[in-house]
Amino acid sequence: MKNREIVYIVSDSVGETAELVVKAVATQFNRGYVEIKRQTYVESFEDIEDVLAMAIHGSAIIAYTIVIPTLKEYLDKRAKDIGIHAVDLLNPLMEAFINKFNQQPKYQPKLMRKLDDDYFRKIEAIEFAVKYDDGRDPRGILNADIILIGVSRTSKTPLSMYLAHKRYKVANVPIVPEIKPPDELFKMPRNKCVGLIISPDKLNAIRKERLKNLGLKSEANYASFERILEELDYAEKIMKRIGCPIINVSDKAIEETADYILDILKKERSS
């Protein structure tokens, strides 16, 4: 049985990129017995010396993804001095980018990990908004960054999703006269909650169109003016009881309302 060949992955981050490249290359040589060892978060000359000591003992190859120039230069020089084959997996492409775009890189480690973390935070926020949409589970209120409250058709759901794409966990709660608001709503700091109101005429038109799309008669109680006035009056009483800021969404686009919400909450939390 052949001895296992060793490739040391050296990275100032987690080393995932380098490992994938090494595995892809190894398969081209039918080197299924190549052993890969990761040395991650390398941040000093001492860290590099530790890797070199292990690599020279096993006559290993070093494949590295280090973007900090001083560390890269040190590894290149020391590996050459002691006869270890060290391969820079990033620099050739980095140089091509510099020449093509006439721009210098940031030379900051862990940027890919930051992008990944940002992506997963967005996915988590979107899943949260879906799970706690329309008051489905009031327990979500306690874990939300923002709680939107208002009567039906005040854009609570689209606003929740838009804010979720900005990494905010949003729960929204419909206010209906016949249904007691969840107790959790009154346990939250007022600077996490936003009330959404709309003009009766605008809401009447929106609800009539909604009924039309559903194939229902526009004369239904849902779209009646008296019902709308009753709901709006009740909703405002709840909002005043909570003490939260109130936004009129009558003539605002989703993006405009979302920016306004974030601006209001920022001021509320800093005061």
Phi, psi of 192 (to 5 degrees): -110, -5
The CB density around residue 257, as the number of other CB atoms within 10 Å, is 22
- Residue 114 is predicted with a pLDDT of 67
Architecture of domain 6-109: 3-Layer(aba) Sandwich (3.40)
Maximum mean pLDDT: which of 6-10, 40-44, 193-197, 215-219:
193-197
Mind giving me the DSSP string for the chain?
-PPPPEEEEEESS--HHHHHHHHHHHHHTT-TT-EEEEE-S--SHHHHHHHHHHHHHTT-EEEEE---HHHHHHHHHHHHHHT--EEESSHHHHHHHHHHHT------TTHHHHHHHHHHHHHHHHHHHHHTGGGS-GGGGGG-SEEEEESTTSSHHHHHHHHHTTT--EEEEE--TTSPPPGGGGTS-GGGEEEEE--HHHHHHHHHHHHHHTT--TTSGGG-HHHHHHHHHHHHHHHHHHT--EEE-TT--HHHHHHHHHHHHHHHHH-
d(Cα 224, Cα 230) in Å, to the nearest integer? 10
> What are the residue boundaries of the structural domains of the chain, listed by start?
6-109, 117-270
- Residue 248 is predicted with a pLDDT of 97
Q: What percent of the chain has pLDDT over 70?
A: 95
Sequence length of the chain is: 271
- Grade residue 201 by pLDDT with cuts at 50, 70 and 90: very high
- Residue 263 is predicted with a pLDDT of 93
- Tens-place pLDDT, residues 60-94: 899 999 998 999 999 999 999 999 999 999 989 88
- Residue 1 is predicted with a pLDDT of 38
CATH number for the 117-270 domain, one of 3.30.360, 2.20.25, 2.40.30, 3.40.50?
3.40.50
Phi, psi of 41 (to 5 degrees): 50, 45
pTM value is 0.62
> What does the pLDDT average to over 233-250?
96
Whether pLDDT at 180 is above 70: yes
- Grade residue 9 by pLDDT with cuts at 50, 70 and 90: very high
- Tens-place pLDDT, residues 45-62: 999 999 999 998 877 899
- Tens-place pLDDT, residues 19-40: 889 988 888 886 556 788 989 8
- Residue 93 is predicted with a pLDDT of 87
For the chain, the average pLDDT equals: 90
d(Cα 130, Cα 119) in Å, to the nearest integer? 17
- Residue 30 is predicted with a pLDDT of 67
Which amino acid, residue 184? Answer: E
For residue 20, what are the CA distances in angstroms to 63, 175, 201, 259?
A: 11, 52, 60, 41
Q: What percent of the chain has pLDDT over 90?
A: 62
* Domains 6-109 and 117-270 fall in the same CATH topology: yes
Binding-site residues, in ranges, read 150-157
Whether pLDDT at 181 is above 70: yes
Binding-site residues for ADP, in ranges, read 150-157
Place of tokens 């969404």: 249
